[in-house]
Amino acid sequence: MDIRQLRYFISVAEQLSFTTAARQLYVSQPSLSQQIAELEKQVGARLFIRDRHSVSLTAAGSVLLKEAKAIVAMSADAIRMVREAEAGITGNLKIGILGYAERRILPRILTNFHHKYPQINLVFEYLSLGGLDEALQHGQVDLGFTLVIESSSLPQVSFKKIFTDSLCLVVPYSHELANESLINYSHIPLIARETIVFEDQHIASRGYENMLRICVNRGFSPNVLQVPNSAVLLSVECGLGISILPSVIPKTYGSPFIRYIDILGNDTRVDLVAAWRTKNSNPSIPFFLQELEVVKKPIDNYSILKSTVSL
């Protein structure tokens, strides 16, 4: 038996009329009768009692009607799920996150996305900046939220900018610069004597190079204390040094024991972006990016971050 025969059978069983069923199915009555006869032959049982004036189900026909409806429904569900998977409406989407910068926007995206595409399972992985770069390039995550400077790029990776942040100086609350509102060139001699706390350069090479560039552009080579990513702000809190980070990081960290101060200059821009491997074929990615664009529009209309003065 096949799905078409079962649909024909269900129609006749519900209408109790070959004439009406044939009309609804857009087939000829002889063709319909032939398919029912073939079905009866396959199941080895008479399905209908027919006379000149009426059609009724046999006991075997009643049993088959229940099972046939279930089979046809399962077939329709299977086709729907396959099509949804092909279209990206179901399946898994692996997302790499840094754990801080994306917190201002990710909850809104996820709420909208889950409401619209409840069959897509979102899987999150917390990664360092360098670890996220590698995971994107090797297809270990489908999409990631990461920080890039305007001129930076990753091979075979596409970006969608979410918002622009600026680098800031992060100091302990008791530091002599803690009450400053802007770091300018008069503060450089003091900063140059400090230890700069930063994530391991082998793990966060792009961020490390960016920090060095900021220092070199201001005429000094920093003394760097390299620590795990999770220990950077804690090290600053404990007075082990200061740091240069995108302002969204200490803002999200929210400790009363650190201060963050804007840095004067036209080289402090850093963008939070959604990034994905250009050749990634996961069909859910375009749907996620569409929802990202919807949530991003209010951010485009006003800055959620404190402005940075530029030279």
Lowest mean pLDDT among 96-100, 213-217, 292-296, 301-305: 301-305
pTM summary value: 0.64
CA distances from 203 to 9, 84, 128, 212, 290 (A): 65, 38, 7, 15, 31
Lowest mean pLDDT among 140-154, 202-216, 262-276: 140-154
pLDDT tens sequence across 7-55? 999 999 999 999 999 999 999 999 999 999 999 999 999 999 998 889 9
Residue ranges with strand state E in the chain: 48-50, 55-57, 91-97, 120-126, 143-148, 157-172, 182-183, 195-199, 223-227, 243-246, 258-263, 269-277
Q: Is residue 116 part of a domain?
A: yes
Predicted confidence at residue 310, as pLDDT, reads: 32
Max avg pLDDT among 105-114, 169-178, 228-237, 295-304: 169-178
Q: Is residue 255 part of a domain?
A: yes
For residues 160 and 94, give the distance between their C-alpha atoms in angstroms, rounded to a whole number.
17
Q: Which domain holds residue 111?
A: 91-163+271-301
Same domain, yes or no, for 265 and 253?
A: yes
Same domain, yes or no, for 278 and 265?
A: no
Predicted confidence at residue 151, as pLDDT, reads: 52
Q: Which residues contact 16 (CB under 8 A, 6 or more apart)?
A: 54, 55, 56, 57
Residue that the structure tokens 């959604």 belong to? 274
Q: Is residue 306 part of a domain?
A: no
Rg (CA), the chain: 32
Query: Residue 60: what are its φ and ψ, rounded to 5°?
Result: -65, -40
Same domain, yes or no, for 243 and 295?
A: no
Same domain, yes or no, for 256 and 169?
A: yes
Same domain, yes or no, for 7 and 79?
A: yes
Query: Regarding predicted confidence, which is higher, 100 or 55?
Result: 55
3-state DSSP percent of the chain in helix, strand and coil, to 5: 45, 25, 30
CA distances from 264 to 2, 43, 189, 217, 220 (A): 73, 83, 15, 12, 16
Same domain, yes or no, for 261 and 171?
A: yes
CATH code, domain with 60: 1.10.10.10
Predicted confidence at residue 303, as pLDDT, reads: 46
Predicted confidence band of residue 272 (pLDDT cuts 50, 70, 90): confident
Q: Which of 34, 54, 87 is the last residue of a domain?
A: 87
Query: Regarding predicted confidence, which is higher, 121 or 202?
Result: 121
Same domain, yes or no, for 112 and 234?
A: no
Same domain, yes or no, for 116 and 137?
A: yes
Grouping H, G, I as helix, E, B as strand and the rest as coil, residue 269 is strand
Q: Is residue 310 part of a domain?
A: no
CATH code, domain with 153: 3.40.190.10
Q: Is residue 280 part of a domain?
A: yes
First to last CA, the chain: 78
Predicted confidence at residue 39, as pLDDT, reads: 94
